[in-house]
Chains A and B, each alone.
Chain A
Amino acid sequence: MQPFTRHTGKALPFDRVDVDTDQMVPKQFLKSQTKEGYGRILFYDWRYLPGEEPNPEFILNEPRYQGASILLTRRNFGCGSSREHAAWAVADYGFRAVIGPSFADIFFKNCAMNGILAITLPEDQVDELFRRAQATPGYQLDVDLPNQTIRDNEGLELKFEIDDFRKQALLKGLDEIGLTLEHDTEISSYERAHHPEPAQQSPVDFSYPVAS
């Protein structure tokens, strides 16, 4: 996982509540077997006109927001489907941090697993970031994870909360599976107590040949 320590970049204010992951990566793009290349897909149906022409009215296509790497969102961002493709698309597009008043639980976790720093701030602070990003072309934010601060060039400084486990994982780009496997002894001991044998066999039909 790509570590996150400190990032300075252009902010894109995505002014819509309850954005669901179906919008971020529509279903026709869920049949791939890789985690790569979803940046082009992000917000596909809103972003493109027929023939994959960029929709000039959609914010990701506005010249002033090109190269944005910090996504400002409204409440309940990433609701709906658990598809991690949404987080892959956010990361692959180039967003390193997502800042909003609230995120859907699964999307929030998917961000953490992909080196994206999702930051929850009080609604009035997010409103202020939206105002500034909308007012100032090229508006930049500096997100500092070790110090848990967000700063702009206009003197704004905000503190944010993050639990220490996620913070360390992001800072070091840690592989969560590797960390868990360090607890193999505890897992094995739980298993001995609760799942000592393979799950019960059953008379259901498993006889069909498996396609190769």
Chain B
Amino acid sequence: MPPRTLYDKIWDHHVVTEEPGKPCLLYIDRHYIHEGTSPQAFAGLKSAGRRVRRPDLTFAVMDHSVSTRNRDLPVLDADARGQFEALARNCRETGVRLFDMHSRNQGIVHIIGPELGLTQPGFTIVCGDSHTSTNGAFGSLAFGIGTSAVEHVLATQCLREYRSKPMRIEVTGKRQRGVTAKDVILAIIGKIGISAGVGHVLEYTGSVIRGLSMEGRMTVCNMSIEAGARAGMVAPDETTFAYMEGRPFVPRGKDFHVAVDFWKSLATDPGALYAKSVELDGDKIAPQVTWGTNPGMVTDVTGHVPSPDSFADPGARQAVGSALEYMDLKPGTAITDIPVDYVFIGSCTNSRIEDLRAASKIIAGKHVAPTVKLALAVPGSRVVKTQAESEGLDKIFRDAGFEWRDAGCSMCIGMNDDVLPSGMRCASTSNRNFEGRQGKGGRTHLVSPITAAAAAIAGHFVDVRQMGVELE
């Protein structure tokens, strides 16, 4: 057999049928569902008289619209309540396991999958959510799907897919102090653009990626979709195995070692071909801040807002012009001169324990600037929240003037009442700075947790490397 990439190996392992000229039938090992994109799929299934083929491989959670305040109160939003009730009913009727909003394992779907050990190397994982790519950090093939595809997987445990093209993103050298996984992925997207990954699956390689924790790798893979790729992945290694061991759904004892041997075989073979390869010098990556309305509109924290005229392509020029208008920014403005009104630390990109620990170090003993109207810390899961509280992080956040909330998608998407008001500018650790993403008229700047924390204290963006805080 010719040398194969990590992607090829997982793909080949999951092919159920393959006929020339047709998409493959690919078996799905894990199907995650949430309240937002599943009701129509269950309704379609029911109206066609079909059953859920493998409820045991399907896992449901409430995350998109859940309140991050008091869950014991009734859900006032009738539409959101309707979706919660539908999910609970659908799971009950079909035997799918549900982590409802009161479960101690509740959290953002892409946080709890890995946390529970449901996500494992070599798996195919899908969810009606584009940030399913997060799970690729374990060396799984994980991607977002639409609701029709959710229905297809519920009914058949398979998907019809064409093979994507593997693309290597190699980040060489060494990550500098104050530069996080978030800065690495923003720099990658800034370099390759938001559509470079269309039709591709990204495999992140190189010393900088190898040096990241699982949390960091999840942050990187999470934003693969923002580069246009449905999936991003990192070959499993000792860091992966150490993270996996002992998690609730991970095999134990002898079975674990058998699993590790299999996981080790997944890495890309020497000489395997990628459709494209891109290399970044990790030493040169600085803390990143987005200034526009897509994640590719990004620059170093030491940089400036660009002028539309500096873009040769007419489409880009027009896009940058309208982005600056929406963001109310003038070309040439130093990033560090941009004030922030809101700070959001959370989302499936950056709400894991490591993110909260790093942010807490920046704010410890300090206070949010008086000009900042709201600073939110939203753990990605209740397990993360409990862990953070056991380390006293909640107190650090609260003492600094942050609100410490319950787990959910929160202000990344604003489907609950955590909405960025119109005209407000937010330093956000989330993944999308699209117009209106956090709230109609809201202005989002994507940053790392430590850059967000630093902006909360200063009231404007600052270079965390200049703060005199010891950084990793």
Contact = CB atoms under 8 A, between A and B. Distances in A.
A8 B259 CA distance: 56
Contacts of A104: 195, 198, 228
B440 A26 contact: yes
B105 interface: yes
B303 interface: no
Contacts of B40: 33-35, 84
A136 interface: no
A193 B98 CA distance: 27
B54 to A, nearest CB: 7
A106 B130 contact: yes
Interface stretch (B88-96, B346-354, B387-395): B88-96
A175 to B, nearest CB: 8
Contacts of B83: 31, 33
Given A183-B16, A202-B248, A204-B116, A211 B100 contact: yes
B23 A82 contact: no
B48 A177 contact: yes
Nearest to B294: A18
A22 B130 contact: no
Contacts of A177: 48, 50, 151-152, 155-156
A17 interface: yes
A110 B25 contact: no
Chain B: interface size category? 35 or more
B281 interface: no
A119 to B, nearest CB: 15
Contacts of B319: 16-18
A33 B43 contact: yes
A109 interface: yes
B89 A113 contact: no
Interface string B98-121: 111011110000000000110000
A94 interface: no
B315 A75 contact: yes
Contacts of A76: 194-195, 198, 228
B103 A205 contact: yes
Q: Is the interface of A mostly helix, strand, loop or mixed?
A: loop
A20 B294 contact: yes
B340 to A, nearest CB: 21
B424 interface: no
B230 A31 contact: no
Contacts of A157: none
Name which of B116, B130, B155, B294 has the most chain A CB atoms within 10 A of its CB: B130
A17 B318 contact: yes
Contacts of A27: 413-415, 437
Given A35-B40, A82-B130, A205-B103, A114 B315 contact: no
Contact of B156 (A113, A163, A180, A204): A180
A102 B197 CA distance: 12
Interface string A9-29: 000000111101011001110
B379 interface: no
A45 interface: yes
A101 to B, nearest CB: 10
Interface stretch (B74-82, B180-188, B233-241, B359-367): B74-82
B308 interface: no
B436 A17 contact: no
B103 A106 contact: no
A5 B344 CA distance: 48
Nearest to A205: B104
B160 A82 contact: no
Contact of A113 (B25, B97, B146): B146
Nearest to A199: B56
A172 B255 CA distance: 48
Contact of A163 (B21, B89, B148, B194): B21
B194 A18 contact: yes
Contacts of A190: 16, 27
A33 B91 contact: no
Contacts of A84: 37, 40, 128, 146-148
- The 4 tightest CB contacts between A and B, nearest first, are A31-B79, A84-B146, A198-B56, A113-B148
11 contacts: A16-B318, A31-B415, A34-B40, A45-B440, A106-B146, A109-B149, A110-B146, A113-B148, A176-B160, A187-B156, A212-B85
Interface of B: 16-17, 21-23, 25, 27, 29, 36-37, 39-40, 43, 48, 50, 53-54, 56-57, 64-65, 77, 79-80, 82-86, 88-89, 91-92, 97-100, 102-105, 116-117, 128-130, 144-149, 151-152, 155-158, 160, 162, 164, 194-195, 198-199, 225-226, 228, 230, 248-249, 251, 294, 315-316, 318-319, 322, 413-415, 432, 434-437, 440
Given A33-B43, A177-B155, A183-B25, 14 more contacts: A17-B316, A20-B432, A31-B77, A31-B80, A76-B198, A82-B128, A177-B156, A183-B16, A190-B27, A200-B249, A202-B116, A206-B97, A208-B100, A212-B89
